A and B are shown apart, each in its own frame.
Chain A
Amino acid sequence: GNSVTQMEGPVTLSEEAFLTINCTYTATGYPSLFWYVQYPGEGLQLLLKATKADDKGSNKGFEATYRKETTSFHLEKGSVQVSDSAVYFCALSLPYQGGSEKLVFGKGTKLTVNP
């Protein structure tokens, strides 16, 4: 079946540290890949996405590259800020015959950035 495995948290970093959150996937088809972020008390927001192999998604200093050969979509940021503290979810979607592009999520990784 289709699944996403991401690095278990929590992750605690100091401000300006380098961040990597690992994400690998298993899919029967050719998925689109996403990172969603959930800030405290808020809903899930799309952070970035990539729809085909070797695509790099980027937003707010975060980047992730769709690696088909390693079935991975690792999230990176060169210098984290306190405001990046949130829960990060890796997800995939696959076209469904009926048009439902449901999302399959990983467990989420809680990031805390200390000043």
Chain B
Amino acid sequence: EPEVTQTPSHQVTQMGQEVILRCVPISNHLYFYWYRQILGQKVEFLVSFYNNEISEKSEIFDDQFSVERPDGSNFTLKIRSTKLEDSAMYFCASYAGVGEQYFGPGTRLTVT
């Protein structure tokens, strides 16, 4: 069964540092998403990506965040200058346009 993969599973970084979270979506899917879950809180939508551009983003997704699909397979989320409040589990999802969104196992980001 096809699956979404994410790396790393856990990333520890210092405040102010840049991090890149990586995802490999399912190969024939068209829509890609990032969500995050701060510990004990709900899963929140960050951004959706379609046809090589952002199709929707939330208020959380400010100028510190960016996404790209550099090589047609990887889908990355970059946080330019991390803050303590960016500590969360980040989930990537991909979607064919019909059916369901498929989620990766998540990357736990810890900002110290």
Chain A interface residues toward B at CB < 8 A:
4, 34, 36, 41-46, 49, 89, 91, 96, 98-108
Contact = CB atoms under 8 A, between A and B. Distances in A.
Nearest to A44: B103
Given A41-B105, A43-B105, A46-B100, A102 B42 contact: no
A43 B106 contact: yes
Interface residues of B, number: 24
Contact of A108 (B6, B33, B43, B104): B43
Contacts of A46: 100-101
Interface string B93-111: 1010100110111100000
A96 B47 CA distance: 13
Contacts of B48: 100, 102
Main secondary structure of the interface of B (DSSP, over half): strand
B50 A43 contact: no
Interface of B: 4, 6, 31, 33, 35, 41-45, 48, 50, 55-56, 91, 93, 95, 97, 100-101, 103-106
Closest 6 CB pairs of A and B: A100-B48, A44-B103, A105-B43, A100-B56, A43-B105, A43-B103
Contacts of B31: 99-101
Q: Which of A42, A46, A103, A107 has the most chain B CB within a 10 Å cutoff?
A: A103
Nearest to A102: B45
Given A100-B50, A102-B33, A102-B48, A44 B43 contact: yes
Given A43-B91, A89-B43, A98 B56 contact: yes
Contacts of B105: 41-43
Contacts of B91: 43-44
